């Protein structure tokens, strides 16, 4: 076999839509001596991790924990446990991840009503709430990673009536204001590789008692069955004591644990403010250079900025040059905007003014005619 | 909040049924500068990882890759893509993981025929093959982590007829002889936290062309849909080019990549021999002390040894004392044998004669009357 299994020791600055560079504490957490998943030390660490997740979710939900897979599995866990044949699910769609919600919900046999909005614009909560008189679930993406738009989840919470509100918080958690309980979110999922500043591989998840009571018993997924995971969570979950379900990814949990400690030590409002400031500096700098932002003003995410590729500029060539010359990764656009939009993320430890200035300076070097 | 997010820097020797201590290369791989999941450097690393996995699986299957979740999700991926209503699945059950296969297959709507054998004894391939004249799938566990038994998968492969052979290789891969193609395994899944010597979090997976052709289109799981994952794998998978599916857990892949390099440098036959020798020393030593092994002679796994708890001995107290005094973790028994059997794993870097001697010496210290 000719495979060498060596790897050039190149350090990238991950300014795309995620993963970002991890917090140093998160990287150190990965390399700590590994613990078994039943070790009392691990169980304490998992308890603390769930405590920390409750803080960043803004919830007191006892069922708050990391699903043992990436953010997309969080989406699957949310739907597989709550939707089945006969259930009506209204999904607000203004980007790729809203679309994906429709696909995932439909595979569970739900009747899906997609309420569509133009990509780059926010959802209209009123239109979403009026799409069906009595849905089981209303679902929306808080921070659309595909477009850089922040949707108004709090307004949906006010309008939801008896429906359960299901929110994708992958690109909002630990980066922008998120108040699960205050806003009426009943089921939420996220990922670790955005503003939490941890490598991809876990899906922070929260579900309140009302949604848990309305769940599907024996859902189609064994791996993501919240009834079984209750045992796995033990006292933090159903209080029924821990029982073996699957082997927790202990290194990834140690990393998330360390990152949460770092974030809560800085203080969540300060972390939000840091993301806000970095995004503002970046977005003002881009506009000062005559570049046009893609997301509608007033609804722009600070942690993920979308910018239109200028006419006549080769989108991929610019990204390639940033990577080659400066080890800076930025993202292509999503879906139909693959070559007409760039996505620039300043998330987790990357969310600083200095990094905003660095991206701008690097773009000045590589943009044609600059 | 009172949570401290600190953790005592205790190093455990993980001699339970998994996770084991990772190879040092695997730990170093976790802490390498993180790569984005679309970075050309990551794609090369993923290609090499799939190459390495083909070696340890003993297969040329192009669809060989790590599922982005733990081993149990590998089991779910295997069944969700291949079984649905109307499909007959024959499962050989001689332990916990055979039982779990029945649960997972049934959730997918399959007609499950469980062929039961006493725990601690091997399956009888003939009885399994004769359980149904024309099943779609025959499934069995190669190395039963719950009992320490090695089942004869090669014999099942000879008897399978037109059925697809689906094998759980979680506790066999990279520890004992495994020859996917030679033995007629059509679908296999594993975990990283046993003999591969990597933290838990990925499920090495392989499926051959015949099984892929017979798969369920649009399976109930979006996250584990092999059709979509084909795009994610790109040239190593369906050759159709890479398309975004989910964000790969890049740190865990880097760790698996490094461990595979380590294992293949040592040489797979040498790695198997090292596991064999460590297990032999341990099992002979246990018997020399008058302890009785649980698994039937001639069918014992070297990497996972099951031993009966002597009459009158408090199983949990012994495990607790090993952990407290010597930082040595061994496992309880599974299911009905929770307090009457211990499980001692010598896997990955832990599979050495020295570690076998260490466990024996530590047991001498803590066993009552020793």
Per-residue pLDDT reduced to its tens digit, B272-329: 999 999 999 999 999 999 999 999 999 999 999 999 999 999 999 999 999 999 999 9
Name the residue with higher pLDDT: A21 or B7: A21
| Cβ separation B250–A69 shorter than 8 A | no
- Determine how many CB atoms are found less than 10 A away from the CB of residue B51: 18
Q: Which residues of B, range 102-131, sit inside 8 Å of A by Cβ?
A: 103-104, 107-108
Question: Is residue B230 scored above 90 in pLDDT?
Answer: no
Identify the band that residue A238 occupies on the pLDDT scale cut at 50, 70 and 90. Answer: very low
- For range B225-252, the mean pLDDT: 72
- Which of A64, A199, A227, A338 to mutate to probe the B interface, most B CBs <10 Å? A199
Look-up: residue for tokens 């949310």? A78
Q: Comparing C-alpha atoms, which of A17, A285, A303, A312 is closest to residue A150?
A: A303
Predicted local distance difference test score (pLDDT) of residue A234: 54
* Alpha-carbon span B300 to A333, nearest angstrom: 54
Residue B257 to residue A7, Cβ atoms within 8 A: yes
- Give chain A's radius of gyration (CA, Å): 21
CB contact under 8 A, B4 and A48: yes
Q: What is the mean pLDDT of chain B?
A: 94
pLDDT at B115 over 50: yes
Q: Which residues, in sequence order, are CB contacts of B215 under 8 Å at separation 6+?
A: B81, B82, B207, B226, B227
What's the CA gap between A22 and B37, in Å, rounded?
A: 14
> Distance of alpha carbon A209 from its chain centroid, rounded?
23
pLDDT score of A156 more than 70: yes
Q: Is A33 on the interface with B (CB under 8 A)?
A: yes
pLDDT in tens, A121-142: 999 999 999 999 999 999 999 9
Residue of chain B nearest A22, judged by CA positions: B34
Residue-wise pLDDT for B24-42, tens only, equals: 999 999 999 999 999 999 9
Q: Does the global pTM surpass 0.90?
A: yes
Strands (E), chain B: 13-14, 63-67, 88-93, 111-116, 137-141, 143-144, 149-150, 164-168, 187-189, 203-207, 304-308, 328-329, 331-332, 341-345
CA distance B90 to B111: 8
A2 pLDDT above the threshold of 60:
no
- CA torsion through residues A125, A131, A134, A135, sign: negative
d(CA B192, CA B184): 22
| Mean pLDDT confidence for B253-274 | 98
CB-closest option in A32, A108, A201 to B249: A201
Q: Is residue B231 scored above 80 in pLDDT?
A: no
C-alpha dihedral sign at A83, A88, A92, A95: positive
Task: Give the whole-number percent of chain B exceeding pLDDT 90.
Answer: 91
Cis status of the peptide bond prior to B19, with omega within 30 of 0: yes
Is a pLDDT exceeding 60 seen at residue B240?
no
Q: What is the pLDDT of residue B241?
A: 47
**A201-234, pLDDT tens digit by residue?**
999 999 999 999 999 999 999 999 999 987 666 5
Q: What is the tens place of the pLDDT at every residue in A178-198?
A: 999 999 999 999 999 999 999
d(CA A125, CA A130): 9
User: Residue ranges of the alpha helices (H) in A234-336?
Assistant: 250-266, 268-288, 315-326
Question: How far, in Å, CA of A100 to CA of A324, rounded?
Answer: 32
Q: What are phi and psi of A329, to 5 degrees?
A: -100, 125
Chain B 260-299, CB below 8 Å of chain A: which residues? 260-261, 264-265
Query: What burial letters (b/e) apply to B118-141, b meaning 16+ CB within 10 Å?
Result: ebbebbbbeebbebbeebbbbbbb
Pairing of strands A341-345, A331-332: antiparallel
B300 near B357, Cβ under 8 Å? no
Angle among Cα B186, B192, B198 to the nearest 5 degrees reads 155
DSSP A139-162: EEESEETTTTEEP-HHHHHHH-TT
Q: Is residue B254 a contact partner of residue B32, using CB atoms and an 8 Å limit?
A: yes
- Say if B251 is an interface residue toward chain A (CB within 8 Å): yes
DSSP state of B69: B
Q: What are the tens digits of pLDDT across the range B176-190?
A: 999 999 999 999 999
Question: HSE (CB half, 13 Å, CA atoms) of A302?
Answer: 23
Contacts of A167 (CB under 8 A, 6+ apart): A139, A140, A141, A142, A153, A180, A185, A187, A188
Question: Cβ distance B328 to B362 under 8 Å?
Answer: yes
Tens digit of pLDDT for each residue in A259-309? 999 999 999 999 999 999 999 999 999 999 999 999 999 999 999 999 999
Question: What pLDDT digit, counting tens, does each position of A68-114 carry?
Answer: 999 999 999 999 999 999 999 999 999 999 999 999 999 999 999 99
Pick from B244, B254, B207, B242: which is nearest to B64 by CA? Answer: B207
Q: Over the stretch B74-100, which tens digit does the pLDDT of each residue have? A: 999 999 999 999 999 999 999 999 999
DSSP secondary structure letter of residue B164: E
Residue window 205-224, chain B: list those with CB within 8 Å of chain A. 218-223
> Chain B window 133-192: which residues touch A at a Cβ cutoff of 8 Å?
191
Distance linking the first and last C-alpha atoms of chain A: 47
Contact A58/B at CB under 8 A: no
Identify which of A36, A71, A191 has the shortest CB distance to residue B329.
A36
Residue B111 backbone class (left: φ over 0; alpha: ψ -120 to 50; beta: rest): beta
- Are the beta carbons of B36 and A12 separated by less than 8 Å? yes
Q: Is the pLDDT of residue B195 over 70?
A: yes
Answer whether B326's CB lies under 8 Å from B12's CB: no
Distance from the B299 Cα atom to the nearest Cα atom in chain A, whole angstroms = 25
Cα–Cα dist A83/A89, whole Å: 8
Q: What is the ipTM, given to two decimal places? A: 0.95
End-to-end alpha carbon distance in chain B: 47
Q: Three-state SS for A359?
A: helix
Which chain B residue's Cα is nearest to A261? B5
Residue A306 φ then ψ, to 5°? -110, 135
Helix, strand counts (H, E) of chain B: 13, 14
Are the beta carbons of A223 and B108 separated by less than 8 Å?
Answer: no
Q: How many residues does chain B have?
A: 370
- Determine the distance in angstroms separating the CA of B258 from the nearest CA of chain A, rounded to an integer: 6
> pLDDT of A19-41, one tens digit each?
999 999 999 999 999 999 999 99
pLDDT of residue B8: 81
């Amino acid at each position: 076999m000719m495979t060498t299994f060596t790897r050039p020791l190149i350090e990238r600055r991950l300014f795309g839509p995620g993963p970002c560079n991890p917090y140093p504490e998160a990287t150190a957490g990965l390399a700590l001596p590994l613990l078994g998943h039943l070790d009392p030390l691990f169980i304490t660490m998992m308890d603390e991790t769930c405590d920390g997740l409750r803080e960043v979710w803004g919830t007191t939900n006892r069922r708050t924990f990391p699903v043992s897979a990436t953010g997309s599995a969080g989406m699957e866990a949310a739907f597989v446990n709550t939707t089945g044949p006969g259930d009506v699910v209204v999904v607000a769609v203004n980007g790729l991840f809203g679309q994906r919600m429709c696909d995932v919900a439909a595979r569970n046999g739900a009747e899906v009503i997609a309420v569509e909005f133009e990509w780059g614009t926010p959802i209209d909560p009123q239109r979403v709430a009026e799409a069906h008189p009595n849905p089981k679930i209303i679902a929306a993406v808080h921070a659309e990673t595909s477009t850089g738009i922040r949707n108004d989840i709090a307004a949906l919470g006010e309008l939801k009536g008896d429906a359960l509100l299901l929110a994708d918080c992958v690109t909002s958690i630990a980066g922008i204001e998120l108040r699960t309980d205050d806003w009426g979110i009943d089921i939420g999922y996220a990922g670790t590789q955005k503003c939490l500043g941890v490598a991809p591989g876990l899906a922070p998840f929260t579900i309140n008692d009302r949604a848990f009571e309305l769940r599907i018993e024996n859902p189609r997924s064994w791996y993501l069955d919240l009834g079984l995971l209750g045992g796995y969570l033990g006292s933090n979950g159903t209080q029924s004591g821990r029982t073996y379900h699957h082997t927790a990814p202990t290194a990834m949990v140690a990393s998330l644990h360390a990152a949460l400690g770092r974030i809560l030590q800085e203080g969540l409002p300060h972390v939000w403010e840091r993301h806000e400031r970095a995004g503002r500096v970046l977005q003002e700098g881009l506009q000062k250079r005559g570049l046009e932002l893609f997301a509608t003003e007033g609804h722009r995410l600070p942690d993920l900025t979308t910018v239109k590729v200028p006419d006549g500029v080769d989108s991929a060539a610019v990204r390639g040059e940033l990577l080659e010359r400066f080890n800076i990764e930025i993202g292509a656009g999503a879906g139909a905007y693959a070559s007409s939009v760039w996505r620039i993320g300043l998330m987790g430890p990357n969310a600083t003014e200095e990094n905003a200035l660095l991206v701008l300076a690097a773009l000045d070097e590589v943009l044609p005619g600059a």
